[in-house]
C-alpha cells in the first residue's frame, strides 16, 4: 500500500500570520522538530485531512518513501536557514533600521552600549558625540561644576574666550613705547644685534649667572629703536627675562619715589617696552607685574611688622613705609585684586588685628592718597576704614591746634 503524503505548507502558513517575526519563530520551531525526527527515526502516523483516518503501523517500502525523505531533508534545511536568518535579523534589527532610515548610506557616528537599556547598542551620530559639542566652560548649568569642566572645549570657544580677555582694558600705569618706523637695513641690523644680546643672556643663565640688568636695558633699547621683537628659546625663558626686568623696575620704584626711572626711561615704560621686545602679550605681562608687586609689598609689610615689634628697629618703619608708597604709587594693584587678597590672607596669619591697624595708621599719616591700596593689602575694606582714619586725623589736628 502506498503512502499518502500530507502537503507541507509551512511557508504559506507563515505568510498568512500577522507578524513577520512570529513566522520566523514558527519556522525555527519546525526546524527543530525536523532535526529531532532525523536523528531519532521512528514509525510515523500519517493522517489525512479527510474525516476518515487511515493509520499505518508498519509501512512497507515504496518508491514514494525516498521522495518523502528527500522532501523532509530539504524542508528541514530551508527551515534552518530561515531560522538563522531570523535570528540575525533580530540581533541586527536596530542597525538595519538605522541603515534603512538614512537610505542605505553610511552615516558617521559610533555604536555605544547603553547600560540603562540592558547593554543594548545605540547609534549616536557624529554631530551628537561629546567631542563635537560646543561646551562653554564658563556656563555651568549642571548641579556639578565638574561636568562642564570635564567636557572638551572647542577651539572656537577658546578663541572667543581669549578675544574677550584681550578686550579688557589695561591698567592706567601701563606705558608702552610708540612704534618707530625704521628702514629695512636698520631693522635688520637692530634685529641681529638684539639676537646676539639675547643669546648672551640665555647662555649666561645656563652657566648659573643671573641676568645682567645692563644687558636687559640694552636689549630693550635695541628692540624699541627699530620695533624689533626677539624670540627666546622657550616661552618660560622669555617670561624669566621679563620678570628680571620687572624686579629691577620694582626695586627702583621702592627707592626712587615719584616717577622713578630705570636706565633712562620711566619704570613703567621700561616694563611695557620689555614685554614688547620679548613678544609677551600685554595682559600676560601685566599679570606677572602684579604678582611681583604683590610679593614685594608683602615682603615690605612683613619687615614693617617686625620693626614695629622691636623697639630697636622702630626707626626703620618710616623708611620701609616710604618704599611701600613708591611701589604702590608706581605699580598699583587693581582694586579688590586676587593678589591683594592673597597678601592680606598671609599677613592675617602672621599679625593680629591691632598690629595691622597700627601699620595702616602709620602709612595713612605718611600718604593718604595711596592708603586705599595698602588697606587692601592689610585685609581692610578701604571704604570703611579710610573715613574713620580721616576723622581721627582731623580730630588730632584740631587738638593740636
Q: What is the tens place of the pLDDT at every residue in 300-358? A: 999 999 999 998 999 999 999 999 999 999 999 999 999 999 999 999 999 999 999 99
10 vs 327: which has the higher pLDDT: 327
296 within a domain of the structure (yes/no): yes
Same domain, 319 and 388: yes
Same domain, 264 and 354: no
Same domain, 223 and 296: no
Say if residue 151's pLDDT is above 70: no
CA angle 311, 314, 319 (to 5 degrees): 165
Which pLDDT score is estimated for 13? 46
Least confidently predicted of 137-141, 188-192, 216-220: 137-141
All three cell numbers of 6? 500530507
Same domain, 309 and 238: no
201 within a domain of the structure (yes/no): yes
Rg (CA), the chain: 44
Q: Which domain holds residue 261?
A: 184-280
What's the mean pLDDT in 122-140?
Answer: 50
Same domain, 311 and 269: no
Which pLDDT score is estimated for 146? 38
Instruction: With cut-offs at 50, 70 and 90, classify the pLDDT of residue 391.
Output: confident
355 within a domain of the structure (yes/no): yes
Distance between CA atoms of 142 and 271, rounded to whole angstroms? 43
- Choose the final residue of a domain: 280, 305, 330: 280
Q: Characterize 357-389 residue by residue with b for buried, 16 or more Cβ atoms within 10 angstroms of its Cβ, and e for exposed.
A: ebbbebbbeebeebbbbbbbbbbbebeebbeeb
Same domain, 317 and 235: no
328 within a domain of the structure (yes/no): yes
Which pLDDT score is estimated for 341? 95
What's the mean pLDDT in 208-236?
Answer: 94
Distance between CA atoms of 291 and 314, rounded to whole angstroms? 29
All three cell numbers of 354? 591691632
211 within a domain of the structure (yes/no): yes
Which single residue is written with the C-alpha cell 534552518? 80
Same domain, 245 and 274: yes
- Choose the final residue of a domain: 280, 312, 335: 280
* Count of structural domains, the chain: 3
In sequence order, what are the residues at sequence separation of 6 or more whose Cβ sits closer than 8 angstroms to the Cβ of residue 333?
290, 293, 294, 297, 339, 340, 373, 376, 377
Same domain, 268 and 335: no
Least confidently predicted of 47-51, 157-161, 392-396: 47-51
Q: What is the reported pTM?
A: 0.58
Same domain, 252 and 305: no
Say if residue 49's pLDDT is above 70: no
Distance between CA atoms of 128 and 114, rounded to whole angstroms? 15
135 within a domain of the structure (yes/no): no
Same domain, 272 and 349: no
27 within a domain of the structure (yes/no): yes
Same domain, 27 and 70: yes
Distance between CA atoms of 384 and 378, rounded to whole angstroms? 13
Say if residue 164's pLDDT is above 80: no
The answer to whether the beta carbons of residues 324 and 297 sit under 8 Å apart is yes
Same domain, 298 and 387: yes
248 within a domain of the structure (yes/no): yes
Which runs of consecutive H residues, i.e. helices, occur in 92-153? 93-101, 146-150
Amino acid at each position: 500500500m502506498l503512502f499518502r503524503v500530507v502537503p507541507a505548507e509551512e511557508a504559506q502558513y507563515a505568510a498568512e500570520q500577522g507578524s513577520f517575526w512570529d513566522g520566523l519563530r514558527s519556522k525555527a520551531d519546525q526546524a527543530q522538530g525536523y532535526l529531532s525526527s532525523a536523528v531519532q527515526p521512528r514509525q510515523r502516523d500519517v493522517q489525512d485531512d479527510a474525516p476518515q483516518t487511515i493509520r499505518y503501523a508498519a509501512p512497507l517500502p515504496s518508491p514514494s518513501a525516498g521522495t518523502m525523505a528527500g522532501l523532509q531533508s530539504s524542508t528541514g534545511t530551508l527551515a534552518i536557514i530561515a531560522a538563522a536568518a531570523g535570528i540575525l535579523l533580530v540581533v541586527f534589527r536596530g542597525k538595519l533600521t538605522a541603515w534603512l532610515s538614512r537610505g542605505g548610506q553610511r552615516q558617521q557616528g559610533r555604536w555605544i552600549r547603553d547600560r540603562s537599556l540592558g547593554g543594548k547598542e545605540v547609534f549616536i551620530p557624529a554631530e551628537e558625540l561629546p567631542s563635537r559639542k560646543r561646551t562653554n566652560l564658563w556656563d555651568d548649568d549642571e548641579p556639578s561644576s565638574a561636568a562642564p569642566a570635564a567636557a572638551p572645549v572647542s577651539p572656537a570657544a577658546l578663541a572667543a574666550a581669549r578675544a574677550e580677555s584681550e578686550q579688557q582694558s589695561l591698567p592706567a600705569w601701563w606705558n608702552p613705547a610708540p612704534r618707530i618706523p625704521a628702514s629695512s637695513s636698520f631693522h635688520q641690523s637692530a634685529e641681529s644685534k638684539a639676537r646676539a644680546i639675547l643669546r648672551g643672556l640665555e647662555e649666561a643663565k645656563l652657566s648659573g649667572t643671573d641676568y645682567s640688568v645692563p644687558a636687559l636695558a640694552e636689549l630693550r633699547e635695541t628692540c624699541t629703536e627699530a620695533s624689533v621683537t626677539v624670540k627666546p628659546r622657550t616661552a618660560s625663558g622669555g617670561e624669566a627675562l621679563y620678570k628680571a626686568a620687572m624686579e629691577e623696575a620694582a626695586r627702583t620704584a621702592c627707592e626712587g619715589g615719584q616717577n622713578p626711572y630705570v636706565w633712562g626711561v620711566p619704570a613703567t615704560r621700561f616694563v611695557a617696552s620689555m614685554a614688547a621686545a620679548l613678544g609677551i602679550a600685554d595682559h600676560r605681562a601685566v599679570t606677572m607685574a602684579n604678582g611681583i608687586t604683590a610679593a614685594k609689598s608683602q615682603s615690605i609689610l612683613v619687615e614693617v611688622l617686625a620693626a614695629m615689634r622691636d623697639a630697636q628697629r622702630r626707626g626703620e618703619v618710616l623708611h620701609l613705609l616710604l618704599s611701600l608708597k613708591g611701589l604702590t604709587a608706581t605699580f598699583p594693584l587693581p582694586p579688590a585684586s586676587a593678589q591683594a587678597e592673597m597678601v592680606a590672607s598671609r599677613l592675617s596669619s602672621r599679625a593680629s588685628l591691632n598690629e595691622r591697624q597700627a601699620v595702616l595708621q602709620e602709612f595713612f599719616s605718611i600718604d593718604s592718597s595711596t592708603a586705599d591700596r595698602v588697606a587692601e593689602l592689610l585685609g581692610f575694606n578701604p571704604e570703611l576704614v579710610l573715613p574713620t582714619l580721616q576723622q581721627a586725623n582731623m580730630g588730632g589736628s584740631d587738638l593740636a591746634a
